[in-house]
Structure 1
């Protein structure tokens, strides 16, 4: 059966668009129109769809492409079951085929994109039981060079037995480059994300990229080389990066060189923590990350130089090829620069967009920025779905979309007076920064729970200073310094002062009151509604904007009310063990709405800080922005390593601890936590003042040990702060890491409990028969690593609870565990 006349007309429009130099928007519009019309043939299931008018306006098409990409990205972040996603696809098909209005077709396309993204979105971990660490010998091929991270280097290695793995080695002990074949004796640990709904562990991104194992080695040996063309380019890019670093260090002071490296390559290792925090809090962190702006600067600078040179070559100038050279020749250099910076998704996106614009320009086609952006992001997401979860790519795409969305409809004013030109430039820059700030605010609030209040004003000055002055000067200084350090001296002086001005601006903005505004972390649905409202607000007429704002506010408020209701303890006592790996972080929700935090986990063996990556994000996401009490049971890093992030991230009224850390003059994480508590105004109380009962509404919190005073000579585990919680006939005991000696000392003060938090993560030195006999718990929960480096909980302890018929709730098996204790003595 042939095409109907309407389809033939649309197909001819597609052909004309390609042959007559039509814009990409019109070609895409006609192609989609032809596809929709073709679906209306009687032989297809969408019978009758051809009578619906398809979209033909370029502006509508551009927004439709952008919205489809956004829906696909949003869907890929939703952990929907396959059946739900499949049902979404069927529903979208029904909307497109059965309902006779154009807006239902649009809704159907968006729903289909979201469902398709969900089918390729986050998946459950690949194991059925927590695997154990293993030691073995591996052989593999380096995919990414071994780049330094503090005292270690990290490589991405392809192996036959374990697939793609991440390898960590001490600095100087694994000098491998892309394409090298290596051997090493390694300790292999599986990538096991911490499971604490509704937040997601960052290590899920490793699994999405196919990296399921983290390896550690003391030394690797390069045994050969299998370098292809891409590997050779990456190898040369690493050499060039080191040359640039050396040139900057020779020509600039130590602090200036570190700033230039951070600005050029996004390498923050040479900067102090306070400087990095200043950029984050003031909304300038994107200046210290390789983004599309870096690639754009390289393309524009090299393009201008190539155009100047080509126009002076008579043969090229006579044939009008100068502009073609300026379009094409900068691309290889920009690609090499992207390799030098580590190939971040945001820089790759900018490079691909640059290539697309150049090709379309050479082909004689008009390339609209929003079309190129949407198709670039969609193509990258289809090739590598894990990229949709990369924050850098998300921010880059959203910010770029906000900048270019209205570029086609805002005509440049015809101004000849310099004063008016300057005013127009300032107003245009202000509008652009406001658009970008509003566009990325839902994403920043979703990821970090805060949005910089001064971001618009700070970026108005800092962005031009960085991208038009400091960044080009740093790049030129490095190039000239590699050729002649003497010639680079004047440039280095100017570069150093421009960098000082930029970093001083960030430090000044941080000192301004309310420089960074803490938000309640929105849910993904709330962020999606806010983003949709911002898009609608930017595109609709003024009369419709008020309705959009009211509808969005009502939807977000409704979602907020439902979330707070779900998180409320509803007059009962709830004990939640967060999944922080090998450590403890226990949240206690009291019936009156207040909350306590007992310990905050800690980083072991170079892992991420669970206080910053789990505890604080979870507290914000579940609307616990104030804690009545934060307690440190004993000064060990797996219990207190995350406390500093907690004190800095939420409001804390009281800080309870044993006082042993102060008596032993401990530093490190303990000193950082105490300092942070004092700085944030938390009242510090030690064991001597805590022993006894503390009524907290309908719950009585009793400190049983170390009482009456803390003995600094006792081992920290046996000097743990032991808390008993009584709620009517229900009770819970939280013994910290109490071991056998501490349990014996406490036996005379023990009474039966409903819930027992198993001491010392289930070590066989704890949970003795006498201790369990005195407590007679109805249910027990244990917080341990998965896999645990200490074999916790120990099989002997597991057998003790099983023999007594006590259900054992385990974070290594279940992830986050919550137990609600009712006043009548029951639990659920």
Structure 2
């Protein structure tokens, strides 16, 4: 029954986060009244019948939880503030801090900062404050880049964004004002192990070891993380339920073995379980305290607690109880992808049908079944949030997971202990290096098979089809039922995708969409006959505009651009071209030609050469001026710079100005034209 209540509570939280019901307090009140009624009259129901009303009440409670939007950042400039350290994420040579303002004031205006304002800052090196500590610092604050674009693929996560970026203004970036001895001790131990691994292991091996022991996922290189995720092994290289279960189980079994020969008058099994509870929770804290790590640690602690009192733990009930314990005080944690994926994967494993002991290759069949069920159960969330499904992960988990769980993870933890045993550093470090290289080589070998790492973004209808299909695959017991469910789901998905294309690629109308890319411009134009144009591409590199534009094109099923116009040569207008050249087919590009002539680093020339090598036609202002040819069922006219760009003008004033005309409607797009060029244009 507990598992149904937990599932209803989490479902209510998830639905409520998307719906944000105004009647949240009313729903919570109804749930409390209903709970009281069940408590008073529950004896009239059989114990099994309690599940239905209690699950409904749990759903209402989850639905009634109000999820506050992040506090926006409305300041820019130098500030002096005091903040609490919420989390620290270590990378290769730096760390990212998430802070919450306690008090602060802007230096120039004297404006007070809102208490609770989220702050994100980056610290070079490894001298970071412990989580939970209070620090004082002076920094330059600026708002975070937040982009909001309507899409067929809505964002189903909690409201994100808000808060400020902070750049330290002093050589000594912060001063620790207050920190508990416990937090300082744990942080010091983590720092010692981190320094030991960086000093004694090759960089690649140290990154893997830090990810496995300390939860420093950022210590892995970007390309390495992409490869690992593509082959479906991301859970192996992050502190998850697997790691906590291995460490906790090893600790308790070792204690049981040591205590078994001692005549202490206690049951050694219960005593070992009792000692294992605080050790398990301490390990989760030492390993970085991720949501999945805490979920697994609390699950293990509950299981050991039941052993202590002489009860046999039920895996499903203990997992459900852990989910409730974690999410009740902090509902936002329950909506993080890592937490939900952990819960769903665990549920799929626990609900797997038992393998007959008489079957040949029983262990291999069991591993294959668990790997398949985990992949199927997590597919809807992985596809929705991460844009692909690592189908090859079914095979890599069967082949690689034993090496990772039985060799690499234990050896990484043993190497962490060598920080206090110098004599063991060389043999254990050498063995760990060999094992990690084998593991990474296998990942690289399977990477070319990861053809489903990028899939089309789902709309709501397709998401529901995928969810229903995966549930049917998990429930079905016969191959005929599974094949039927897969076939029906595929047909429904294709039908929904066709409807999406008809809706997002309209005919007989001119649709102009101005994309929010922060600083810069990007405009999408759907022409009446179905042709498609993009005018400017926003910023490139690591700016979120790149991902925003790419995902919007994929959500609209636009894999070809008939016309791409780069109005002028500033990176916030052409920076995204690098990604578009590799992602979509571009038929034609229009340029004013100034940047190709005047740029110093030849970056634009390289991009255009790359596009031309793929068959893209490039046209310049002299060829385009004075003509108004029909295009896509409408008219498109270049108004400026004509007859060619003026070298005496700036890049902005040489922006291509276009006029789109369809029937009685017209649009004028002017890039970044400034006053002088605008006056000459209308003269």
TM-score using structure 2 length:
0.83
> Which of 568, 576, 579 is the aligned partner of 1:634?
568
Equivalent pairs counted in the alignment come to: 658
Partner of 2:411: 473
Structure 1 spans left out of the alignment, 5+ residues: 1-24, 29-61, 749-828
Superposition pairs of residues 677-826 of structure 1, within 5 angstroms: 681=614, 683=616, 685=618, 687=620, 691-692=624-625, 693=628, 695-709=630-644, 714-747=649-682
1:463 aligns with 2:397: no
Report the CA distance between 1:364 and its aligned residue. 2.6
Conserved? CA contact 1:634–1:717, under 8 Å: yes
Picking from 169, 178, 184, the partner of 2:137 is 184
Aligned mates of 1:558, 1:649 — CA distance in 2: 25
Q: Tell me how far apart the structure 2 counterparts of residues 715 and 157 of structure 1 sit (CA, whole Å).
A: 43
CA shift for structure 1 position 432: 1.1
Could you say what secondary structure the match of 2:18 adopts? Answer: coil
Residues 121-175 of structure 1, C-alpha deviations (whole Å, 9 max, x = no match): 6566767xx9443543222343445856866642423404422532425426985
CA shift digits 1:767-826 (9 cap, x unpaired): xxxxxxxxxxxxxxxxxxxxxxxxxxxxxxxxxxxxxxxxxxxxxxxxxxxxxxxxxxxx
The structure 2 residue matched to 1:611, chosen from 546, 550, 556, is 546
Q: 1:538 to 1:203 in 2, by over 3 A?
A: closer
* Aligned mate of 2:290, from 324, 344, 352: 344
Q: Secondary structure at the match of 1:240?
A: helix
**1:253 and 2:202 matched:** yes
- How far off is 1:698 after superposition? 0.4
1:227 to 179, 183, 187: 179
The yes-or-no answer on 1:120 pairing with 2:58 is no
Deviation at 1:109, TM superposition (A): 7.1
C-alpha displacement at 1:353, in angstroms?
Answer: 1.0
Taking a change above 3 Å as real, the CA distance of residues 286 and 169 of structure 1, as seen in their structure-2 partners, is closer
2:41 aligns with none
Decide whether the 8 Å contact of 1:399 with 1:440 is kept in 2.
Answer: yes
Task: Give the drift of 1:563.
Answer: 4.5
Per the alignment, do residues 490 and 337 of structure 1 end up closer, same or farther by CA in structure 2, a change over 3 Å counting?
same
Instruction: Name which of 225, 237, 240 aligns with 2:189.
Output: 240
Q: Secondary structure at the match of 2:99?
A: strand
2:333 aligned with 1:387:
yes
Separation of aligned partners in 2, 1:109 and 1:690: 72
**What is the CA-CA distance between 1:104 and the residue it aligns to?**
13
Secondary structure, counterpart of 1:520 in structure 2 = coil
CA shift digits 1:55-96 (9 cap, x unpaired): xxxxxxx4x3464245224313423542599799999x99x9
Deviations 1:501-532 (A, max 9, x none): 111122222223x5335322123454344324
| 1:171 aligned to which of 118, 124, 137 | 124
2-structure distance, mates of 1:731, 1:391: 44
Aligned match of 1:427: 365
User: Does 1:497 pair with 2:434?
Assistant: yes
Shift of the 634–171 alpha-carbon distance from structure 1 to 2, 3 Å rule, reads: same
What is the Cα deviation at residue 460 of structure 1? 1.9
Mapped to 1, the partners of 2:464 and 2:501 lie a distance apart of 19
> CA RMSD of the aligned region, Å?
4.2
Q: Which residue of 1 aligns with 2:267?
A: 320
- The 1-side partners of 2:306 and 2:586 are apart by 57
Residue 19 of structure 2 is aligned to residue 75 of structure 1: no
Which SS does the other structure have where 2:533 is aligned? strand
1:587 and 2:540 matched: no
Give the Å deviation of 1:378: 3.2
Shift of 1:490: 1.9
> Residues 284-330 of structure 1, C-alpha deviation per residue, up to 9 Å, x if partnerless?
23333322222122212323332332224x124x6431x22432334
Change (3 A) 1:534 1:180: closer
Contact 1:133–1:189 (CA under 8 A) maintained in structure 2: yes
Does structure 1 retain, via aligned residues, the 8 Å contact 2:271–2:308?
no
CA distance in 2, matches of 1:320, 1:394: 37
Q: What are the residue-to-residue correspondences of 1:388-427 with 2, within 5 Å?
A: 388-406=334-352, 409-411=353-355, 413=357, 420=360, 423-427=361-365
Q: How does 1:549-698 map to 2 (within 5 A)?
A: 560=497, 563-602=500-539, 609-612=544-547, 614-648=548-582, 650=584, 652-658=586-592, 660-664=594-598, 681=614, 683=616, 685=618, 687=620, 691-692=624-625, 693=628, 695-698=630-633
Cα separation, 1, equivalents of 2:339 and 2:669: 43
Q: 1:453 Cα deviation (Å)?
A: 3.2
1:78 aligned counterpart, secondary structure: helix
1:280 aligns to what?
229
Greater alpha carbon shift after TM alignment, 628-637 vs 451-460: 628-637
How far the C-alpha of 1:550 sits from its partner, in A, is: 7.2
Distance 1:169 1:319, change over 3 A: closer
Match of 2:254 in 1: 305
Match of 1:376 among 306, 312, 322: 322
User: 1:620: Cα distance to partner?
Assistant: 3.0
The 10-residue stretch of structure 1 (732-741 or 133-142) with the greater mean CA deviation from structure 2: 133-142
Unaligned stretches of 5+ residues in structure 2? 39-45, 104-113
Separation of aligned partners in 2, 1:731 and 1:633 = 18
Q: Is the 8 A contact 1:575 1:588 kept in 2?
A: yes
Deviation at 1:649, TM superposition (A): 5.0
Cα–Cα, structure 1 residues 187 and 688, in superposed 2: closer, same or farther, change >3 Å? same
Quote the residue 1:295 is aligned against: 244
Aligned CA distance change for structure 1 residues 234 and 669 (closer, same or farther; 3 Å): farther
**Alpha-carbon contact 2:561-2:587 (below 8 Å) kept:** yes
C-alpha distance in 1, partners of 2:28/2:604? 50
